[in-house]
Structure 1
């Protein structure tokens, strides 16, 4: 990735496009209707419904702008077409064993915009992702986590 454009996986770009579509086609008309209804109630200075609807409109339009900019400025990487074997690069789905706790975890290394730890999607810029990049299945490594040094073994690397 020689580009300075932030990377996104194809799946992440699809999720962002779906969100953008929802905000434009569903949420925007709902908010416009709410603003119109609140406006019909009269005096706008003391109309809390109107001010809340206008605020929702601002947040929605801000998110639409953010998503449009992200999608137009990002480099979409099709991880299924990467020919890197078992070496870990952007987009890899990595199976790990925490050697200290004897637990297993699976992460996918994704772009910063699509990272979601609850879904085990870790940002390529995160410390653990940086520790994983370039390693291969079977490697062991140390990682300095917020709660101390962790030791991991990489048990699987795949791309989907």
Structure 2
């Protein structure tokens, strides 16, 4: 299966590594643009960009996935898109371009704590149970059909 992966921070690395080491082919990686890091504000690639480039996987750095960037990425032949903490919305035409659509690994039990920082929101609000959900991506934020639940 040909996979396009979208992710940015270190928390996305185990998923990307598993895909790279598994039986499927990661054909492209999408991540956020390089960002200033440290006191000297050195422009630094995201952890996902660094791993993808080390593995020789073509990589696109984009803050937004609409417009021309989305159209270009939609031309990549992929069977499935996988998102883990990308930090932006997957929009059309990219949303419907992989043959089997996109799935997202979300670090909270949906529908609670949609959006960014779900673990932090759960802790701040005193949740006694947290979890991870994998769901089918749709245009609305964190609202697709849940296909896997793991409670912690």
Q: Do both share a fold (TM > 0.5)? A: no
Q: Which has the higher helix share?
A: 1
TM-score (norm 2): 0.25
TM-score (norm 1): 0.24
When Rg is computed on C-alpha atoms for both structures, the one with the higher figure is 1
